[in-house]
Amino acid sequence: MKTSICQACVIVLFFAVSTLAGAQAPTPIPTLAAPTLVPVISDDDDPVDALPSASAVDDIIATGLFKVGVLYNEAPYSEYTLQGELRGLDIDLMRLIAEKWGEEIEFLQVTRENALDQLNQGQIHAAVAAFPHYRDLDVQLEFSQSYFLGRQAMMVRADSAYQSLNDLSSQAVGYVIGTRTEKALSLWSAQLGASLNLKYYLTLDRAFSALTRGEIEGLVAEEQKLLNVSRDYADHVKILAEAVTREPRAVAVRRGDIAMRQLLNQSIQSLAKDNSLQKLHREHFPDAEYPEAAFPLWDGISESLNPAQYAGALRYPDRYIVAQIQRSGVLRVGGLADDQSGLTSSQAQLTALNRAIVNELGRRWSLTVEFVSSGVDEAKELLAAGDVDIIAGVKPDWRLATALDFSVPYLLHGDRLMVPARSQIGGFNDLRGRIIGVIIADAGARDRAQAWADSINAGVRFFQTRADGAALNLLEFNNAHAIYADSLQLIPHLQASPSALRLTERWYSRSYRSLGLPYNDLDFRLLVDYTLQEMARDGTLWDLSAPFILSDEPPDFLIIPGIAAYAGFNLARS
């Protein structure tokens, strides 16, 4: 009997090896299953699976050591050189973060197979390089804010007529089996709603040779790997501008460890605010554009950060919103008052947008939306008490980060210069010796504008105006050559006089509107984030917010790749 079993094993192994050897054979794209919630939510709202009671932050404080798991073979993100040194974007970023905290750092080698176990066992506090952020990983890990956008890219021959991914949707496309590219191709196939003509290879070298010989029309892999394999044949191939999927790079931490995630998030944002993150991008990827809009910064970023700010026992919700809305069929929304008297035109428009956003969430989730009349401050108390599930129209702010969480942003606004349409003014360089109008109600506008003028040694003068009189002072009374204000305050004037007024191109500050969420309710945050991202992907967000953007293109809000479903909800636009 044992001999028969062994013979059967040999036969199975023979066929498995034979299948892999057929490098030209097409392989089907795997179907992605909807994620299972972790922790599993029971009927009494208590998490079934064990969650960490102590944050990795506490261990960092106790030991004075930040332990980071890294890959040794993931250049240019992290690699162990022949000289015995660790280098790469991820390595330099983690060193800057540890330096900001005033802690020592230790890099420990991990693999893609053991990094999750090492995180959960506390052997490392965070992992980089091993986990580009895909949605299906969110059921096992928690991710920081993204700090770099890689991508799975399509390479074609230089003389190819193919210009877009759609051109290749029915052509023979190669990839390396057993790599992350399979996941990217699965998502592309799902978006097309059709099967792809795919051929797998055991190595990237073999796949690249097949491309150059004309056996396949396209080759998909992580962009840096494509650049490396084609280095000696760069004139013979090209990479399409359109990504098969973008791959956000983020720091992985243990699921439920919101303190560690928020400490890393604020650290990354602090490095972006002082341009250290941009400098790292230029050093490691000099030819890549820094995607500023994809990395939003919250208000209230602290210049000095240390782990002690996030120390203490981890807190979890008394009830989990996903389970609650599944049972009740109702989404309770705070932050929008019924009485809109006294609102300015821009405030009324913003209120309408906030209402439309949460109504769209309710529609996609097949829930009844119940608005609980309240201002934002009152809604924060209602959220803490469990009387609302979500707050509309809040500005993500680090000063509130220990009391509530925030969704990804759905609206970008910020300081801009408004000038007459025929004006030659393009920025502060053209305002030397001229007059800048600022809104009386915005007490800090003059100081912000003065700081920009001082940064280029431009002497300027100021004129104060009421918000509703800004256009008149600019066009009729000639009291100012430009108005410096938040774009939300300028929108009504631009809408009323579209041919007479315009904005200069530069954003002088960036602020965001998000949804306020219960503290450390991870699955609800993911549900909200994914849905907002699907609204961005299918154009709904642009349809709702275009009047506020004042641009021909929507902001480049980051979309985490993955399927349009979570926790039993279909997130796609029906």
Q: What pLDDT is recorded for position 50?
A: 67
**405 with 518, same domain?**
yes
pLDDT (tens digit, 9 = 90+) per residue, 428-437?
999 999 999 9
**367 with 237, same domain?**
no
Q: What pLDDT is recorded for position 347?
A: 87
**475 with 420, same domain?**
yes
- What are the distances in angstroms from CA 376 to CA 373, 379, 383? 10, 5, 10
Could you check whether the bond before residue 39 is cis, i.e. omega within 30 degrees of 0?
yes
Which among 503, 519, 539 is the end of a domain? 503
Q: What pLDDT is recorded for position 340?
A: 80
The segments of the chain whose pLDDT lies below 50 read 1-48
Q: What pLDDT is recorded for position 140?
A: 94
Range of the structural domain that residue 167 is part of: 149-247
Reference 512, options 530, 492, 494, 486; nearest CA is: 486
Q: What pLDDT is recorded for position 40?
A: 38
In a domain, 196, yes or no: yes
In a domain, 2, yes or no: no
**99 with 174, same domain?**
no
CA 247 from chain centre, in angstroms, equals: 10
Largest Cα–Cα distance in the chain? Answer: 100
**326 with 404, same domain?**
yes
pLDDT (tens digit, 9 = 90+) per residue, 364-410?
999 999 999 999 999 999 999 999 999 999 999 999 999 999 999 99
Q: What is the DSSP secondary structure assignment for residue 93, as one 8-state letter?
A: H
**406 with 517, same domain?**
yes
Q: What pLDDT is recorded for position 339?
A: 83
Q: What pLDDT is recorded for position 87?
A: 96
**Helix 540-549 vs helix 345-365: crossing angle, to nearest 10:** 170
User: DSSP readout, 502-519?
Assistant: EE-S--S--EEEEEEE-T
Q: What is the mean pLDDT of the chain?
A: 90
Instruction: Provide the CATH number for the domain around residue 529.
Output: 3.40.190.10
User: CA-CA distance, 153 to 328, in Å (whole number)?
Assistant: 43
Q: Which residue has the tokens 């003509």?
A: 197
Q: What pLDDT is recorded for position 548?
A: 86
Domain count across the chain: 4
Which among 467, 482, 503 is the end of a domain? 503
User: CA-CA distance, 434 to 482, in Å (whole number)?
Assistant: 9
Name the pTM for this structure. 0.88
**329 with 408, same domain?**
yes
Q: Is 396 helix (H, G, I), strand (E, B) or coil?
A: coil
- What are the distances in angstroms from CA 507 to CA 247, 408, 413, 416? 26, 20, 9, 6
CA 316 from chain centre, in angstroms, equals: 24
Residues 523 and 320: beta-carbon distance below 8 Å: yes
Report the relative pairing of strands 330-334 and 368-371 from DSSP bridges. parallel
Residues 336 and 435: beta-carbon distance below 8 Å: no
Query: Which residue stretches of 366-421 are H helix?
Result: 376-385
